[in-house]
Structure 1
Amino acid sequence: MGSFAPFEGVQPTILTVPGLGGSGPSHWQSLWERERHDAIRAELGMWNTPHRNSWVTKLDQAISTAQAPVILVAHSLGCIAVAWWASLSPQPYGWPVAGALLVAPADVDRADAPPEISGFAPAPRGALPFPSIVVASTDDPWITSQRAHSLAAEWGSHFEEVGALGHINAASGLGAWHDGQDLLERVIAASGDGRGHQRTPGDARRVLATPAEAVRRGARG
């Protein structure tokens, strides 16, 4: 699948940010890393015993060493790490992180959150300094759709509910999750207009809400 370059002549780096336990070989993040030449993993370490400050530091290093612009593709606890990075590492709007796809964020604030993730509480509430989409399933055991929608509102993210897909992981049987790549395409398109210019926040929100096929038609036109 082709991608829409946000800045003329510059392809974004797709930086995947897994959650607790990392993403195994059949997880869509791992498949994207193998299938897309532009996708690499942020090696946060301590996958089974994550520490918030360590993950944020490692994520900052990964962003700093990647070729900007960077599009973050986070899953589960990785979404919360992204929000913490944005809170602790202020950046101008859209640079070097130009956008983010935040899939099935873990609810670190719930009363029964396991200790492996509760150390990331409270989830940051400020608006993210880049266009983003929060993706939620209706039967995710790690977060309710309502709570995911609340996080999206707090982060200033476009919200997408994708039906009953569990935790939107390898167990969901998604393979390379082509619908997710369509969502990624919308995030990339929202980060720039294809003529070397970043989009304004308002224009980015409009593009995030536009179906991928319409985005592709606009790029071709």
Structure 2
Amino acid sequence: MSYENKPTILMVPGLRDHVAEHWQTLLERKLPNAASVPPLEHDKLSCAARVAALDAALAKIDGPVILVAHSAGVMITVQWAQRHSRKIHGALLAAPADLETPLPAGYPDFESLAGNGWLPIPRKPLPFPSIVGASRNDPLARFERVETMARDWGSRLVDLGEVGHLNPAAGFGEWPMAETLIDELV
């Protein structure tokens, strides 16, 4: 697809920010109309700081936007949608992290997430079209939980099969399906 005169694709990375081999980073480099929420220098675990960074990135973009979020970036997106009213063309919400259940070792614990404003996960319908891509074996979220989130948000659920957390650790650099799903939102 030609992306000329199409919405800006804004990447919303998770808590680990930008990873060179991650599909979001690779996709941003590939698409001529893509940008990314910059990494935070301070308050990296603060939900409010992450939402403010997304809002600041959106403020720099004229015209329609499609958000492409991964992991906790999905939670940043849904938290932002509860607090702001800018029109969004659509969102691809890939492998949302279920922050309401204990995460594996190496990730923030429940108390840290609660103390930094991540909980509860917003459950209101999103005010824009959205697609949730869910993995059957994601260590950060059970499929059934993501299925419920997608329903609550009014999102179309796409079963991605067994793709882990859809990141380099799960064997994903490029993820061609992302472009297909973004095209559905364009």
Q: Same fold by TM-score, threshold 0.5 exceeded? A: yes
Q: Secondary structure at the match of 1:101?
A: strand
**Aligned amino acid, residue 96 of structure 2:** P
> How many matched pairs?
179
- Whole-angstrom distance in 1 between the partners of 2:43 and 2:141: 19
Contact 2:3 2:33 in 1 (8 A): no
Q: Secondary structure at the match of 2:89?
A: strand
- Whole-angstrom distance in 1 between the partners of 2:24 and 2:153: 22
Instruction: Provide, for residues 171-202 of structure 1, a one-character-per-residue CA deviation record: whole Å limited to 9, x for no partner.
Output: 222332111211111122xxxxxxxxxxxxxx
- Show structure 1 runs of 5+ residues with no match: 189-221
Task: Answer yes or no: is 1:110 the counterpart of 2:108.
Answer: no
**Aligned amino acid, residue 131 of structure 1:** P
Q: TM-score, normalised by structure 1?
A: 0.75
Task: Answer yes or no: is 1:163 the counterpart of 2:154.
Answer: no
- Whole-angstrom distance in 1 between the partners of 2:65 and 2:143: 27
Task: Answer yes or no: is 1:50 the counterpart of 2:37.
Answer: no
Equivalent in 30, 33, 56 of residue 61 of structure 1: 56
Deviating above 3 A after TM superposition, structure 1's stretches of 4 or more consecutive aligned residues are 46-49, 115-119
Structure with more of its chain in helix, by fraction? 1
Q: Secondary structure at the match of 1:72?
A: strand
- Whole-angstrom distance in 2 between the partners of 1:175 and 1:54: 27
Inter-CA distance 3–184: structure 2 relative to 1 (3 Å threshold): farther
- Show structure 2 runs of 5+ residues with no match: none
Root mean square deviation, CA, Å: 1.9
Inter-CA distance 143–82: structure 2 relative to 1 (3 Å threshold): same
Instruction: Provide, for residues 97-150 of structure 1, a one-character-per-residue CA deviation record: whole Å limited to 9, x for no partner.
Output: 110000011111115562554431111011111100001111000000000011
Q: Report how far residue 31 of structure 1 moved.
A: 0.3
Instruction: Provide, for residues 32-59 of structure 1, a one-character-per-residue CA deviation record: whole Å limited to 9, x for no partner.
Output: 1111111111114158932111111111
Task: Answer yes or no: is 1:89 the counterpart of 2:80.
Answer: no
Contact 2:3 2:32 in 1 (8 A): no
Contact 1:3 1:185 in 2 (8 A): no
Contact 2:23 2:167 in 1 (8 A): yes
- Whole-angstrom distance in 2 between the partners of 1:171 and 1:111: 19
Inter-CA distance 34–47: structure 2 relative to 1 (3 Å threshold): farther
Instruction: Provide, for residues 4-36 of structure 1, a one-character-per-residue CA deviation record: whole Å limited to 9, x for no partner.
Output: 77xxxx321000000011131100001011111
Inter-CA distance 173–47: structure 2 relative to 1 (3 Å threshold): farther
- Whole-angstrom distance in 2 between the partners of 1:40 and 1:47: 21
- Whole-angstrom distance in 2 between the partners of 1:174 and 1:47: 28
Identical amino acids, percent of aligned pairs: 37
Contact 2:167 2:173 in 1 (8 A): no
- Whole-angstrom distance in 2 between the partners of 1:77 and 1:46: 17
